[in-house]
Every structure is written in structure tokens, then in C-alpha cells.
Structure 1
Amino acid sequence: MDHSTSNVIELPFSIDKEDLTNSVWKVIEILKPKWRQDSIKHKIFSDGITNSLVGVIHEDDKVNMILVRVFGENTDKIIDRNAELVNMKILHTLGFGPALYASFYNGLAYQYLPGEILTPVTCLDENIYPLVAEKMANFHLQFACVKERLPLETRKSLEKSVLWTKLKNFIMLCPPKYSSDVPPKEKLLEELRWLKRMLQQLNDQLVFCHNDLLLANILHDKDRNSIEFIDFEYAGPNYQAYDIANHFCEFSGVEDYNPLRYPHEDFRKKWVTVYLKTFYKNETVDGKTVHLLLGHVEHFTLASHFFWGVWALIQAAHSSIDFDFVGYASLRWDQYFKKKAAILTDAGAIES
């Protein structure tokens, strides 16, 4: 059964990003005709560096707040917005993420989910990180359910990872010149060929991934002691170890990027053990299985640094958001080459 076309209102207009709090009323008056404009309050969310997000609250009822997200400039070059809509609809039916209310030319309106985004402190909390690991494992287990809910003509798209096609497309979109701290296009393509060969040899499991689990995309509801994932812009089939590796890399932050916050080995082992117990629905997981996935995760940190390093270069060329995207790209590429050197050194030590 195709669940990708649920009742979502399609609105034939755009929202003025420069006058966000006033222009969102165009959406709200259609979704909530009984709401009065003079009883509206707005909450601006400033955690993202790609889109603009505002919450619309009627008569101080925060529980029923509606979120209106306006896409960043030219983000359709790197994000498949149709796929995002389909993902949001399907994943909500499976118990993940908010209900989608409406789409308009340059954005979406959807349900507010309660909770606080994770921080560099709470992501390490022994009462919270197991919930995240369990949530990711259950998310990954939705592969077959997502596939059967897609239209027949698009189900083949789930048979291979989105990673390689997306990375190649990203490189093609990169500007010809940027900081000297960042590899030129030909070097990026050369690195991509090497990375693909190296990671494909691992034969890592293909699952349905979120692909962007930075701390701001994970909500912890203290009252229910539960975790929610949000923002499925990059969701799709990908390697199991990539989603975990990318999440660990995101402990370093974005605006205050600090690679020293990458989690230490003992934490990674405990996190992956919880994940595997949920993924295999087994209270005991042998050490060999844990060790294997941990090794894959370390290798896939390279793919995370590569992905967001190239992404940042594209954003630098097209985004009007006040953020040092080139500087961020430089930091991610620095970590990429350091990690690559460490992996090659370890491989040489094993071979010798």
C-alpha cells in the first residue's frame, strides 16, 4: 500500500523569509481557520544553519504549536525535497517524527514535538545515550516497512546507498575556487574514488538511515524519557555504520566545532553494544560483533567528514546565512586527512 500520498495540503505560494513572523500567517489561516491572528505568538528557533524555523502558538497553547520551516536558498540543489516529503509522511506512519500538515513552494508546516535538543553534555548522559542508540536501531529496522509503503516505481531506489551518488553530485556543485585549506575538485574526485573502494570492501549492512543526526536533530522529552528524531532532509538507504559514525562526529558540534569532543573508545563500545542489542533483538551480543561494527564506524567517520566538508563548500557559495562555511569545511577536511592517515597507519601495522 502506498502511504506516500497522505492528506497534506499543498499551498501554491512562497513565504517571505525576510518577513517570516508575518508571512507565516498565510499558512496558518488555512490550516487553522478558527485561530485569531491577534492571539498568535511566535517562537524563532535558531539551532539550524540551513533553514529558517518558526513556531506559531495560539492562545499560549504550546502543545499544539505549528512549526513552519522555510528552506534555505538553493538547498534544492543538494536536497531532494520530494523525497523529503515522502520520507516525512511514511516515517510518521511508522512512529518516527512529526505529522506533516502542509507544503508550500519554499517550505513545510508540521507538528511540534516536545523535548530539548541534545547538547555536548546530554549526548554523553548515561540515561540518555542508550535511548538514542535504541532509537537509531529501531529507525534502521524500518527499511522493509519504508520500502513497502513507497510507490512501486520508486522502490528500486532503496536497493543501494545514496552516499556515492550524492557525494559525486556535491563535488560537481562545488565552486571552482575556494580556500587553500580545502582540496581542489580533482583531488576531491580522486579522494572519492579511493574512499568508495575502501568502504565498499567492508560490506557494511544497508539500512534506512537518517543521515544527519547532529545533536540539534535529536529531541529528549524529559517527561516521557523518550527520544525523537527530526528533520529527514537527507534520510535514505545507507550503510549502518555511516549513521552511527556521523552521529559520533556530530558530538564535535557545528558552530563551535571541537574535534576533541568526538567520543572516546569506551563510550563508543557501550553505545554500539546497546544499539546492536536492539537491532538484533537480543539481550546478549558477542564481542566479535561489537568489535566489527566499531571498526566499521571508525572507517565511516571518513565519509561523514567528506560529506559535510563538501556540503559546506556548496553552502558557502549559495547561502546568505551568517556562518563561516568555508572555515567549517576546512575543519572537516583537516579531520578527514588526519583520520585517513591513522587508518592507513593501523592497516600497515596489521599487515606487517
Structure 2
Amino acid sequence: MAIKTNGFVDGSLPEELMQILVTLASTWEDVNDPNYIQVKRLNGAMTNEVFQILWPNDKNDLNRKVLVRIYGEGVEVFFNRDDEIRTFENLSHHGQGPRLLGRFSDGRVEEFLHARTLTAEDLRDPEISSLIAGKMREFHGLDMPGTKTVILWNRLRRWLRKAKSLCSLADIKEYGLDTLDDEIQLLEKELTQDDQEIGFCHNDLQYGNIMMDEQTKLVTLIDYEYASYNPIAYDLANHFSEMAANYHTDQPHILDYTKYPDEEERRRFVVAYLNSSGDDICDSEVENLLQNAEKYSLANHIFWGLWGIISAYVNNIDFDYKEYARQRFQQYWLRKPQLLGPFAVPRDDCENGF
């Protein structure tokens, strides 16, 4: 069966997916021709390929839409797809994110959310930032099935083993992978606290994974590939670190750490986060979470540095993963002495390559 996309036959989407789309559209009375679809690739994704699928109807200004994710090659090293789908479905039952409309061997079809995907600049807007903080607090409080223990450290060790197995000896030395076992052990020891709050964390809260309805100001978090239980301070650290990124430039892999939020911005976010629960908060709570989030940024740099190294070998998306990893590791070694003080022992060769 030929599927028409913008008047021509599109061979870039698998036939299995096409069948799902036509079957889905056949249930909608306002779609004239379920076989006539328009395909638009969405930019900014670095793990999957994302497409918007549209069916024109009688009114030219209205369209039926769904979102299609084609899974990136080799990304099963990062997470289990079946686990991710279960997370997706459970979050949907909690009223979070889009509904799952269909699955095929290389991806899935999701409900299209009629909301605006945020931009890098939006994260600096105090009003929007406060809304994100409240949504993050809500997300962290979800009761999700499965183990509710921290997986961060085991995931880092597993990714490090995978990165070493893929890299040449030269790359292992260049990116300092031979030192990271000790670094992960050090971070786990220094950052883990008996009273730290554990929540269901998104773990990838960059601007492209946040949507907002302009009229209702309702914020929705999407893309849960990396979601798991972790210290909430780690999730805040990840969000702060993402403010250095803009994935919609000519060089999306370049990070600008002059845009990392200053203490006033981070404090404002932490206060909004804690206040959103409706409980009374004290200055010590704010200071503790603020400091812990900064320290967990170190684990976050290793996390995404390893992700970048592995992705360079397994993913064919047009993104300079190795340079992205280099910047992440560079920030780790730069910030470690500032954040861990006497516990920071610089690498002997930390100036080599960084």
C-alpha cells in the first residue's frame, strides 16, 4: 500500500508504522483520507528520531496529529525499552504526559500534545521556571511501580564498562575513562546521605522535554527514557546543567557554561520547588537542597559524558557526541575541587586533553 505524504510516496517510515497510522486515522470521522498523511521531522532529539504526523481535514486550519518516535540505533544500552513503555503507560495513568497510541518494532506512536515545547530562553523566565519547579515536585512525588532505590551509581558503572568496551585505548586515555571507577566511588561516598529525599526523577529535564499550554500555563514533562528513582537533588542538578545547552543552533553540541544559572536563579528555583508542596519550609531546607544539587552536578557531568561517548559509537544521529562528552568531563574536573574541597584529588594528567 502506498502512503501519500505531501503528495509523494515516502519511503523513510516503515510499513509497519504506516499500517498503524492508517488504522488509527480510520477511526477519526474528520479525516477525509487516512492514507493521505504529512510527515514533518522535528529537530532537537538526540536519542530518537521524532516526527509529527498530520492528516488534513475539511478545515484547512485544523489537522489531526500524532507524534512518532523512531528509536535510535543501539540505545538499548542506555535503558530497557519494555521498562520505558511500562513507565510511559504508568505515567499516563497518573495523568502525566501523552497517551500511548501504538507500538511497532522500531518505535511508538504517541498522542500529540497541543502545547508549546519550551526553548532554551524559556528556562530563564522566572514565571516559567517556577511552573517547571512545581511540576518537577509533583513528578518526584509519583508512586511508580518497581524498586524505589537509587539506580544512579549502578547505571554509571554499567555505562562506564560499556564505554570502555567500545573505545580504543587512546580514547580511554583521552577522555579519562580509566580514572572514572574511582571517581564514581568517591561521589557515591561523598554525596549519599541517610536523610536524602528519593523521588521518581525524570533525569533528562532539558527544555525540549518540557511543554506548556500557553492559555492554561499547564506544564507537561515528556520523554521518560532515563526516568527512575534517584535523589531529587540529582534531578535538579540535571535541570540546572541543561541551561548551558541550546540544541537548536548550528552547533547543538556546544555548551555555554556562562549560561549556567547563578546562585540567585538556583535559589529561586529551589524555593519554588519546595513551596509548591504547600508545606512550610525553612532556610536550612533551601540551603541543603541548593548545596546538594550543586554537588550532584558532578555525577550529572559523568552521566552525560559517558552517554556521549557511547552514543558516538552506537547512534547515527547528526550530533557531535564526543565533543559533547569532552565538555562534560571538562566541567567535572573543573568543578570537582570547588564542590568537594579537600576530597578532591585532581588527576595527574587532568590538563592533558582538557
- TM superposition shift of 1:24: 3.9
The residue matched to 1:204 in structure 2 has which SS?
coil
Return closer, same or farther for 1:121/1:301 CA change in 2, 3 Å cut-off. Answer: same
One-letter amino acid of the counterpart of residue 105, structure 1: S
Please say if residues 57 and 64 of structure 1, whose CA atoms lie closer than 8 Å, have aligned partners that are also in contact: yes
The residue matched to 1:19 in structure 2 has which SS?
coil
| Distance in 1 between residues matched to 2:263 and 2:11, nearest whole Å | 45
User: Is the counterpart of residue 33 in structure 1 residue 26 in structure 2?
Assistant: yes
Please say if residues 204 and 296 of structure 1, whose CA atoms lie closer than 8 Å, have aligned partners that are also in contact: no
> Which residue in the other structure is 1:339 paired with?
335
Please say if residues 21 and 54 of structure 1, whose CA atoms lie closer than 8 Å, have aligned partners that are also in contact: no
| Distance in 2 between residues matched to 1:18 and 1:83, nearest whole Å | 30
- TM superposition shift of 1:300: 0.5
- TM superposition shift of 1:118: 2.1
> Which residue in the other structure is 1:45 paired with?
42
| Distance in 1 between residues matched to 2:64 and 2:183, nearest whole Å | 47
Return closer, same or farther for 1:181/1:118 CA change in 2, 3 Å cut-off. Answer: farther
> Which residue in the other structure is 1:291 paired with?
287
> Which residue in the other structure is 1:92 paired with?
92
- TM superposition shift of 1:200: 1.1
| 1:283-322 deviations in Å (ceiling 9; x for gaps) | x421111001001100110111010000110001111112
| Distance in 1 between residues matched to 2:103 and 2:341, nearest whole Å | 49
Of the three residues 226, 230, 237, the one matched with 2:222 is 230
- TM superposition shift of 1:64: 3.8
Structure 2: segments with no counterpart, 5+ residues: 1-9, 345-354
> Which residue in the other structure is 1:304 paired with?
300
> Which residue in the other structure is 1:107 paired with?
107
Query: Structure 1 stretch 68-77 or stretch 173-182: which is displaced more?
Result: 173-182
Return closer, same or farther for 1:124/1:63 CA change in 2, 3 Å cut-off. Answer: farther
| 1:308-339 deviations in Å (ceiling 9; x for gaps) | 00011000111111211110000000011111
> Which residue in the other structure is 1:198 paired with?
190
| Distance in 2 between residues matched to 1:181 and 1:262, nearest whole Å | 26
User: Is the counterpart of residue 318 in structure 1 residue 307 in structure 2?
Assistant: no
List 4+ stretches of structure 1 deviating above 6 A: none
- TM superposition shift of 1:214: 0.9
> Which residue in the other structure is 1:152 paired with?
none
User: Is the counterpart of residue 170 in structure 1 residue 159 in structure 2?
Assistant: yes
Query: Structure 1 stretch 26-35 or stretch 236-245: which is displaced more?
Result: 26-35
RMSD value, Cα: 2.1
User: Is the counterpart of residue 73 in structure 1 residue 73 in structure 2?
Assistant: yes
Return closer, same or farther for 1:168/1:266 CA change in 2, 3 Å cut-off. Answer: same
The residue matched to 2:39 in structure 1 has which SS?
strand
One-letter amino acid of the counterpart of residue 26, structure 1: Q
| Distance in 2 between residues matched to 1:55 and 1:328, nearest whole Å | 27
> Which residue in the other structure is 1:119 paired with?
119
- TM superposition shift of 1:22: 7.3
Please say if residues 26 and 34 of structure 2, whose CA atoms lie closer than 8 Å, have aligned partners that are also in contact: no
| 1:223-273 deviations in Å (ceiling 9; x for gaps) | 221211000111111111011110000011152411111101001111100
| Distance in 1 between residues matched to 2:19 and 2:258, nearest whole Å | 45
Of the three residues 150, 171, 174, the one matched with 1:161 is 150
One-letter amino acid of the counterpart of residue 90, structure 1: N
Give the aligned length: 318
Of the three residues 42, 51, 55, the one matched with 1:54 is 51
| 1:13-32 deviations in Å (ceiling 9; x for gaps) | xxxx9713877423202323
| Distance in 2 between residues matched to 1:18 and 1:330, nearest whole Å | 36
- TM superposition shift of 1:94: 0.9
One-letter amino acid of the counterpart of residue 232, structure 1: Y
> Which residue in the other structure is 1:263 paired with?
261
| 1:71-107 deviations in Å (ceiling 9; x for gaps) | 0001111111111111111111111110011111111
One-letter amino acid of the counterpart of residue 239, structure 2: H
Return closer, same or farther for 1:80/1:63 CA change in 2, 3 Å cut-off. Answer: farther
After TM superposition, the score normalised by the length of structure 2 is 0.84
Of the three residues 239, 248, 263, the one matched with 1:247 is 239
| Distance in 2 between residues matched to 1:306 and 1:230, nearest whole Å | 23
| 1:155-200 deviations in Å (ceiling 9; x for gaps) | 3x22x1121121111011112322754113x312121111111111
